[in-house]
């Protein structure tokens, strides 16, 4: 597939100016050196070249990183590298590129505030490297139901929508303290919280430990659940870890539960590895998604376009 001519890094006005300057020329020359870019011909810059053949990733343990590696294989993107960092570093790089209207390709997921902040699109994934529709599920350690039955019930009942999570995430992104953002959401959504705690008795200071990864989506959910459990009498510890240690902690019982299991694909490797060593407590969100994400000003639509 041929990429359309695109001058990255220039705003619409600059593009127009370039177009006018080039007026009268009958070819595609846009005023650069005119060097031939290999097989793409002419002066078209391949999308790979425009981003240094780099996909901006996040923390290495994230399931989306495994999926992105799979995509590099599936689409034979031999020259490409997937950089590692963190969710925060990825959004910082995205913002930097976006502000200058420069090309960038990131590992992205929904729900995430970046879609509210920037005009972004998922690249189509005809090979299915990133799976299809995902769910976020709640997982608990074995024995949780016997030891902390009230928490087990609440965690099993927990489910909310992309919009709900979005409200918390965007508030945090806008500078609100995480706990305050979670508390504000709870105050505005008492009916939803009441459904999670319906018929559950309060406890008196029982301890519970939730493990999460510092992904914006999970920061939001765990801060909400922390307050919900505290309001029911629990003493809650939130432990922030990487994805691998999170699954290990639930499997070996050093964490009681996590709301951060993205399945069936994203965390499949972890779920398989620890099969039988954790309990699935239920789906806490439907219709979530992972993939490669680019600003809409980039003139590509599919991961296949990266092969050019």
- Report the interface residues with ligand PBE, using CB under 6 A: 58, 62-64, 109, 215, 217, 243, 262, 266, 290
Nearer to ligand PBE, 185 or 247 (CB): 247
Q: What is d(CA 204, CA 234) in angstroms, rounded to the nearest whole number?
A: 7
Q: What is d(CA 104, CA 298) in angstroms, rounded to the nearest whole number?
A: 8
Q: Which pair of structure tokens corresponds to residue 282?
A: 């239920």
| CB atoms near residue 175 (< 10 Å) | 7
Listed residue (239, 218, 220) closest to 179, CA to CA: 220
Nearer to ligand PBE, 212 or 234 (CB): 212
We find the least distance from the C-beta atom of residue 21 to ligand PBE, in angstroms, to be 43
Mode of pairing for the β-strands spanning 106-110 and 134-141: unpaired
Nearer to ligand PBE, 165 or 181 (CB): 165
What single-letter DSSP state applies at residue 304? G
Question: Which residues lie across from 120 on neighbouring strands?
Answer: 295
Q: Which pair of structure tokens corresponds to residue 2?
A: 């041929």
Longest dimension (CA), the chain: 80
Per DSSP, the residues of 28-70 read ---SS-----GGG-TTPPPHHHHTTTEEE---TTSHHHHHHHH
Nearer to ligand PBE, 148 or 219 (CB): 219
Query: Contact 104/282 with Cβ under 8 angstroms?
Result: no
Nearer to ligand PBE, 73 or 231 (CB): 73
Nearer to ligand PBE, 63 or 103 (CB): 63
We find the least distance from the C-beta atom of residue 263 to ligand PBE, in angstroms, to be 10
């Amino acid at each position: 597939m041929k990429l359309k001519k695109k001058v990255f890094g220039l705003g619409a006005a600059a593009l127009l100016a370039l177009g006018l300057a080039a007026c009268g020329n009958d070819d595609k020359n846009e005023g650069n050196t005119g060097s031939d870019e290999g097989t793409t011909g002419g002066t078209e810059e391949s999308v790979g070249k425009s981003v240094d053949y780099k996909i901006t990733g996040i923390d290495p343990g994230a399931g989306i990183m495994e999926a992105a590696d799979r995509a590099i294989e599936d689409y034979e993107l031999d020259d490409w590298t997937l950089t590692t960092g963190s969710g925060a570093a990825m959004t910082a790089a995205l913002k930097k590129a976006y502000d200058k209207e420069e090309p960038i390709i990131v590992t992205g997921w929904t729900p995430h505030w970046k879609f509210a902040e920037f005009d972004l699109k998922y690249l189509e994934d005809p090979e299915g490297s990133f799976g299809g529709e995902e769910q976020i599920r709640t997982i608990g350690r074995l024995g949780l139901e016997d030891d902390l039955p009230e928490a087990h019930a609440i965690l099993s009942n927990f489910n909310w929508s992309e919009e709900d999570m979005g409200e918390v995430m965007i508030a945090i992104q806008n500078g609100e303290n995480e706990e305050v953002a979670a508390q504000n959401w709870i105050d505005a959504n008492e009916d939803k919280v009441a459904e999670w705690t319906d018929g559950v008795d309060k406890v008196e200071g029982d301890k519970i430990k939730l493990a999460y990864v510092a992904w914006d989506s999970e920061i939001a959910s765990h801060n909400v659940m922390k307050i919900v459990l505290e309001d029911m009498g629990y003493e809650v510890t939130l432990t922030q870890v990487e994805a691998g240690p999170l699954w290990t902690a639930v499997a070996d019982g050093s964490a009681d539960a996590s709301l951060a299991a993205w399945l069936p694909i994203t965390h499949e490797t972890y779920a398989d590895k620890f099969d039988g060593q954790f309990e699935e407590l239920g789906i806490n969100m439907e219709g979530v998604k992972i993939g490669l994400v680019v600003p809409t000003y980039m003139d590509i639509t599919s991961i296949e376009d990266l092969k050019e």
